[in-house]
Amino acid sequence: MTSDRVSAPTLSPVVVKTPTGPSSSSIKRDGFANLVDALEFAARGDTGYNFYDGKGELESTMTYAELRDEAKVLARKLLGLGLQRGDRVAIVAETDPLFMRFFFASQYAGLLPVALPAGLQLGGGDAWTSQIRQMLQTCGAAIAVAPSSHSKLLTNATEGLELTLCGEADVFDALPEDHNCELLPFTGNEPAYLQYTSGSTSFPRGVEVSQAAAMMNLEEISKFGLKLDNNDRFVSWLPFYHDMGLVGFVLLPMAAQLSADYLSPRTFAMRPRVWLKLLSDNSGTIASSPPFGYALVAKRLRVADSERYDLSKWRAACVGAERIHPGPLKQFADLLKASNFDPKSFVACYGMAECALAVSFAPLNEGLGIDLVDKYEMTDLGKATPVATDQNPKDSLEFVDCGNLLPSYQLAIRDDAGNELPERECGRICLQGPSVMTGYFQNKEATDKVLSADGWLDTGDIGYRVGDQLVITARRKDVIIINGRNIWPQDLEHIAEGVPKVRMGNVSAFSVNEAEGHESVIMVVESRHTEPELAEELQSRIQGQFGVSVHVDLVPSRTLPRTSSGKLSRSRAKIDYLQRLAATKMAELEEANSAAVIAHQDYAIADSVA
């Protein structure tokens, strides 16, 4: 007798993805010969990288053991292409495991990885293609790889270039392994990678960072800057092609055998609360952002939302910029009190790609240190004269203390003649130490402009010393000089951002040379409001605070240019403004000429009739 009962289908077991855990043993901070040596040690544990989607759900994981094994296989495939030692491997640095695989495969193979910008905020696909093509040409890339999201764009960028191979990861994975090749990683003063700067007036330059420089910087960040231990966990949305994203959140957690959790910059820009969710869910302790990132969270977050998160483990909320304004950070901290965020977690720091990453860190567990100085002494004499906190805010300027230099650096604050300046006098920040770059790749002219024969780097930044602490005031090229007074563009921008119809990060201030030889202050403001009253209010506030006249140029959203790391580019904004001004004048001239021609024709007709 046959049963009519239908058997229930067999269900496949549900595989629940879990992120890599914390380190199970004390971390090793030093003694590594190179990045490969550090990865080999990290592969002994169970920590690694974790990638999250736009909703904050775990998408994929990669332990350091898996990364080591995959990188070795890929290294032998790359060498099978007949590449020479030191050939450049260009990687479109999307937030994807692909980046780590190709970066560390290059390390094992003795090739030089180059992180290419993945963001399209520079002006769309055409602008991205043009920039990437220039980067590929200047670094002399032998191969180039991109995720599927950028595959067609990369194909367009490489058209006509003589690359050995270009494509998505599967093109390279399909290659045979060369089991006869020997994996010989770079070490010591040999190169580790090329890091492109987010250039503005000039084309971005490739910083050549040696293995020794990278390892020294990672060691000092771990030991002295952040004082990492095995309870730490990194959470980041920063792009891998930026020095803080690459060194601070890809190389550092690996070198310290700690786990890291990633969101893409795109996800953060659209849903910044997901960053807080990851920090809360995974008990993140280390996360960094430029000031605009904290401001974006504060803008998008409702007070009721803050009760969802527990940020009590977040002990180092690093913040770095050419000049840090404390206002948005205070707003962020106030909004997240209910999330147990401690404002003492803020750690101001200073660094640049030319020094691998980090130069200085403010003390941990102390929050932001504010240096309040006399505005007129600063603008007229370049002296940071301290004032009492109860002084009229209009007569003072706030600067954030970026802390002590890491131990291996030497610091000099110099005037334009090269003379060293005393404490609290503003000058050029110059550095020397083992983490300073070898130079700009195959660009001796640019290298010689910033790096002396005895290894001193002119950072291009302006700042002053207070004891052993370093304070950053501005980029030298951005300082506005009016009638002998130094005016910092960030101060003008900060005043403008206090106007209700102006959003933070949508203002760029700079000066231009007029025909008469004097400088004029220009402020380009993105705003949906174009009425004259807005420009008049901005002009009034600037005049009242700094006693200078300013021309306000109100422009539509997305007009102001940004660097590959998302920061506003004042120098590019100046170029764009001058081009708009020239186009306007040309249009006015053509209109005047047309009117003159018409008037002449009318006169001729009238004359003939008469």
Does this chain's domain 370-478 share its CATH topology with 482-583? no
The tokens describing 348, both together, are: 């101001």
Q: How distant is the alpha carbon of residue 44 from its chain centre? A: 31
- Asked if residue 290 lies in contact with residue 321, where contact means CB atoms within 8 angstroms, the answer is yes
Q: pLDDT tens across 100-110, in order? A: 999 999 999 99
pLDDT of 466 reads 95
Q: pLDDT tens across 390-428, in order? A: 777 788 999 999 999 999 999 999 999 999 999 999 999
Residue pointed to by tokens 């708009």: 580
pLDDT of 321 reads 76
pLDDT of 478 reads 81
Q: pLDDT tens across 482-499, in order? A: 867 778 788 888 888 888
Q: Is 340 exposed, middle or buried (0-12, 13-18, 19+ CB in 10 A)?
A: middle
Selected residue with higher pLDDT from 595 and 513: 513
| Lowest mean pLDDT, pick from 7-16, 218-227, 233-242 | 7-16
Q: Report the amino acid identity of residue 518.
A: H
* Residue 234, pLDDT above cutoff 90: yes
* Residue 8, pLDDT above cutoff 60: no
* Mean pLDDT in residue range 343-369: 97
pLDDT of 122 reads 45
- C-alpha–C-alpha distance, residues 291 and 312, integer Å: 21
- Asked if residue 263 lies in contact with residue 236, where contact means CB atoms within 8 angstroms, the answer is yes
Q: Report the amino acid identity of residue 55.
A: K
The residue ranges of DSSP E strands in 136-246, in sequence order, are 141-145, 165-167, 191-196, 206-210, 234-236
pLDDT of 332 reads 95
Q: pLDDT tens across 273-328, in order? A: 999 999 999 999 999 999 889 999 998 988 888 889 999 999 999 998 777 888 88
* Mean pLDDT in residue range 194-216: 83
* Residue 601, pLDDT above cutoff 80: no
DSSP 8-state assignment for residue 83: P
CATH number of 482-583: 3.30.300.30
* Mean pLDDT in residue range 45-55: 96
* Residue 3, pLDDT above cutoff 50: no
* Residue 42, pLDDT above cutoff 80: yes
**Three-state secondary-structure class, residue 76:** helix
- Asked if residue 426 lies in contact with residue 486, where contact means CB atoms within 8 angstroms, the answer is yes
The tokens describing 214, both together, are: 């990278």
pLDDT of 1 reads 44
pLDDT of 545 reads 83
CATH number of 370-478: 2.30.38.10
* Residue 98, pLDDT above cutoff 90: yes
* Mean pLDDT in residue range 575-586: 78
pLDDT of 245 reads 96
pLDDT of 385 reads 95
* Residue 201, pLDDT above cutoff 50: no
* Mean pLDDT in residue range 165-178: 96
Q: pLDDT tens across 453-483, in order? A: 999 999 999 999 999 999 999 888 888 888 6
- The band of 600, judged by pLDDT with boundaries at 50, 70 and 90, is low
Q: pLDDT tens across 514-568, in order? A: 755 577 888 899 888 777 888 888 888 888 888 888 889 898 888 888 766 567 7
The residue ranges of DSSP E strands in 71-178, in sequence order, are 88-92, 112-116, 141-145, 165-167
- Listed by start position, the domains of the chain span 35-266, 370-478, 482-583
* Mean pLDDT in residue range 75-85: 97
- The band of 126, judged by pLDDT with boundaries at 50, 70 and 90, is confident
What architecture is the 35-266 domain classified under in CATH?
A: 3-Layer(aba) Sandwich (3.40)
- Asked if residue 52 lies in contact with residue 18, where contact means CB atoms within 8 angstroms, the answer is no
Q: Could you tell me which residues come within 8 angstroms of residue 582 by beta carbon, excluding any fewer than 6 positions away?
A: none
pTM for the model? 0.86
* Residue 250, pLDDT above cutoff 50: yes
Residue pointed to by tokens 């300046």: 421
* Residue 439, pLDDT above cutoff 90: yes
Q: What rounded mean pLDDT belongs to the chain?
A: 89
